[in-house]
Amino acid sequence: MRKPKKLLNHPADVCQQQLEGLIAASHGDMQKIAGISAVVRKDLNHGQVLIVTGGGSGHEPMFAGYVGDGLADAAVLGEIFTSPAPDAIMATVKHTRPGKGVLFIYGNYAGDNMNFAIAAELLEEDGITSRSVRVNDDIASAPADRQQDRRGVAGDMMVLKIAGAAARLGLALEEVWRLAEKARQHTRSIGVALSPCSLPQTGKFTFTLAQDEFELGIGVHGEPGVRRQKMVPADQLVSELVESLCEDLALTAGDEICLLINNLGAATFSELLIASRKVHQLLAQRTVVVHDTLIGSYCTSQEMSGYSITFFRLDKPLKALYDAPCHSFAWRK
């Protein structure tokens, strides 16, 4: 089997150097926190709830790419596909000097759950109040009656958008948390992979996939999906994905959603746009309204080829928050 080929300096420097490149591209909008792998907005408003996100590196522009006005205030990162440590999370929060409390938003993974929970408990002892939202939008990772076991994937950015807009209004921590939780409950995703991802540190792929196969429901770290099968036409695959998302989100005629077609790393824009064409056709047949469409690389998995589709169901309050302005490296609105 072929080996991964990447333009790097040294595998051990990947996380640090990509973060330095992101900061340089922000043109002064964010800065690194000394001694840890974390970034923070330069123009923090200490009079509002602070939104802190994070997780493993390797999913760029998630998570640090969403640090900016109307989104996250800070992001703390672990090594590739590895949760950040509790002390790094605590140091990030203390650097922000929160006045109205902290809302943590992160994907529903064992390491992230444990480390953010430890940090929250220790911060509480220091008088810093926090709440957490564990995003679990991946419908392929567990059935609907075990939604609490589902993984978080590209849907993180929808929750960050709502939380950031709510915090920008000056709302109290409990209200920002309530709206972010509502956004989490309204978000569903599913992905498909045509090729594996690799770890820069090992120079090896994390799994194997035959040339004529795809894997449905793949995780962003290469976690097994629901099945492998021979390649099929794009419209056939997208029809199945849309059917699964509509059923899981209980979409009905007249519902309004935001649509995200996310490049997992190595998909071409041709593939993403062909998927967009079919998704819009199918939703129009169901008379489901698409309020906004995002297409591009928002939560990647190194060089994995494939994409994920996310539906974010709107209501009037969520729509107003979604339409509020935001500005970061990865998302400007």
Q: What is the mean pLDDT of residues 116-133?
A: 97
- The pLDDT, as a whole number, for residue 28 is 87
Among 174, 173, 106, which residue's Cα sits nearest to residue 137?
Answer: 106
CA atoms within 13 A on the CB side of 247: 11
**Which residue of the set 27, 46, 186, 221 is catalytic?**
221
Which residues neighbour 231 within 8 Å (Cβ) at sequence distance 6 or greater?
194, 212, 213, 214
- The pLDDT, as a whole number, for residue 3 is 82
Strand partners, 80: 57
**Which residue of the set 10, 27, 46, 59 is catalytic?**
59
- The pLDDT, as a whole number, for residue 125 is 96
- Collapsing DSSP to helix, strand or coil, 314 comes out as strand
> Residue 2: is its pLDDT beyond 80?
no
Q: What is the mean pLDDT of residues 137-149?
A: 96
Q: For this structure, is 186 an active site residue?
A: no
- The pLDDT, as a whole number, for residue 283 is 98
- The pLDDT, as a whole number, for residue 226 is 95
- The pLDDT, as a whole number, for residue 238 is 98
Q: For this structure, is 59 an active site residue?
A: yes
d(CA 94, CA 89): 9
Q: How confident is the model at residue 319 (pLDDT cuts 50, 70, 90)?
A: very high
CA atoms within 13 A on the CB side of 327: 9
Q: What percent of the chain has pLDDT over 70?
A: 100
d(CA 293, CA 17): 31
Over residues 20-56, the pLDDT tens digits come to 999 999 988 999 999 999 999 999 999 999 999 999 9
3-7, 48-52, 63-67: range with lowest mean pLDDT: 3-7
Over residues 279-311, the pLDDT tens digits come to 999 999 999 999 999 999 999 999 999 999 999
Over residues 152-209, the pLDDT tens digits come to 999 999 999 999 999 999 999 999 999 999 999 999 999 999 999 999 989 899 999 9
**Cβ proximity of 119 and 131 under 8 Å:** no
CA atoms within 13 A on the CB side of 178: 6
Among 151, 303, 305, 275, which residue's Cα sits nearest to residue 213?
Answer: 305
pTM summary value: 0.97
Mean pLDDT rounded to a whole number for the chain: 96
Over residues 263-272, the pLDDT tens digits come to 999 999 999 9
> Residue 1: is its pLDDT beyond 70?
no
Residue count of the chain, please give it: 333
